């Protein structure tokens, strides 16, 4: 692209179906696209998102700097999350019928709020959740616990979320608004 404000880095992925645009914390644009997508199509897509890009950059500029691993801030937020999880984990494991609490790791994660490895019975949570409030932490925890039963985002997963955390969509929307 000629316009420096719309300059971007692109990554092509074989298993991807759609073009995805992200605004990183420093305002740079990153595009991932299906392998074989013509450059002109990517340019058109990015150009069509100029208003969205401006809004995301403005919102990103208001966010505090990301938490750095092994910093005092990381340790403080990790301790806050561990204290909150001491109450939330047994409650939600019982409600969902999780027989054994999964191992939890609190990490700096660049693109996700959490992840679940059902085979290893392990959940990773982004330390940034500490700054997003208890409602966000609870939503992501329940989301990842649901993945112990449904490893994808299919109808069964959503039915489980709807049954146990009926306001999960509103929580997700609020969390996404804070990104």
Tens-digit pLDDT profile for residues 58-67: 877 777 788 8
118 shares its domain with 140: yes
Task: With respect to residue 67, please indicate whether it lies within any of the assigned structural domains.
Answer: no
pLDDT of residue 75: 96
154 shares its domain with 124: yes
User: Which has the closest alpha carbon to 65: 106, 10, 27?
Assistant: 27
97 shares its domain with 169: yes
CA angle 138, 87, 70 (to 5 degrees): 75
pLDDT band at 3 (very low <50, low <70, confident <90, very high): low
The per-residue pLDDT for range 65-96, each reduced to its tens digit, is: 888 888 999 999 999 999 999 999 999 999 99
- In whole angstroms, give the CA distance from residue 150 to residue 118: 9
Per the structure, the count of domains in the chain is 2
User: Which has the closest alpha carbon to 84: 54, 51, 127?
Assistant: 127
Strand partners, 12: 33
Last residue of a domain, one of 43, 62, 81: 62
User: Which structural domain range is residue 58 located in?
Assistant: 4-62
pLDDT band at 6 (very low <50, low <70, confident <90, very high): confident
Tokens at 43, concatenated: 């340019």
3-state secondary structure of 42: helix
49 shares its domain with 90: no
Are residues 53 and 61 in contact, defined by beta-carbon separation less than 8 angstroms? no
Query: For the chain, how far is it from start to end, CA to CA, in angstroms?
Result: 26
The whole-model pTM stands at 0.75
83 shares its domain with 171: yes
34 shares its domain with 78: no
Are residues 42 and 19 in contact, defined by beta-carbon separation less than 8 angstroms? yes
Is the pLDDT at 158 greater than 60? The verdict is yes
pLDDT of residue 66: 82
Strand partners, 117: 122
pLDDT band at 56 (very low <50, low <70, confident <90, very high): confident
79 shares its domain with 41: no
CATH code for position 133: 3.30.2010.10
Is the pLDDT at 38 greater than 60? The verdict is yes
93 shares its domain with 129: yes
pLDDT band at 1 (very low <50, low <70, confident <90, very high): very low
């Amino acid at each position: 692209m000629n316009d420096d404000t719309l300059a971007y880095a692109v990554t092509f992925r074989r298993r991807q179906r759609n073009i995805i645009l992200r605004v990183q914390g420093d305002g740079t644009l990153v595009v991932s696209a299906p392998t074989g997508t013509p450059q002109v199509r990517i340019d058109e897509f990015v150009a069509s998102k100029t208003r969205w890009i401006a809004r995301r950059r403005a919102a990103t500029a208001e966010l505090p700097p990301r938490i750095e691993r092994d910093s005092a801030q990381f340790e403080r937020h990790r301790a806050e999350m561990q204290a909150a999880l001491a109450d939330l984990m047994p409650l939600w494991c019982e409600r969902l019928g999780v027989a054994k609490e999964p191992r939890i790791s609190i990490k700096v994660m660049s693109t996700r709020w959490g992840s679940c490895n059902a085979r290893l019975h392990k959940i990773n949570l982004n330390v940034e959740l500490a700054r997003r409030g208890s409602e966000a932490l609870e939503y992501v925890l329940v989301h990842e616990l649901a993945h112990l039963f449904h490893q994808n985002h299919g109808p069964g997963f959503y039915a489980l979320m709807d049954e146990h955390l009926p306001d999960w969509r509103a929580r997700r929307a609020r969390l996404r608004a804070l990104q």
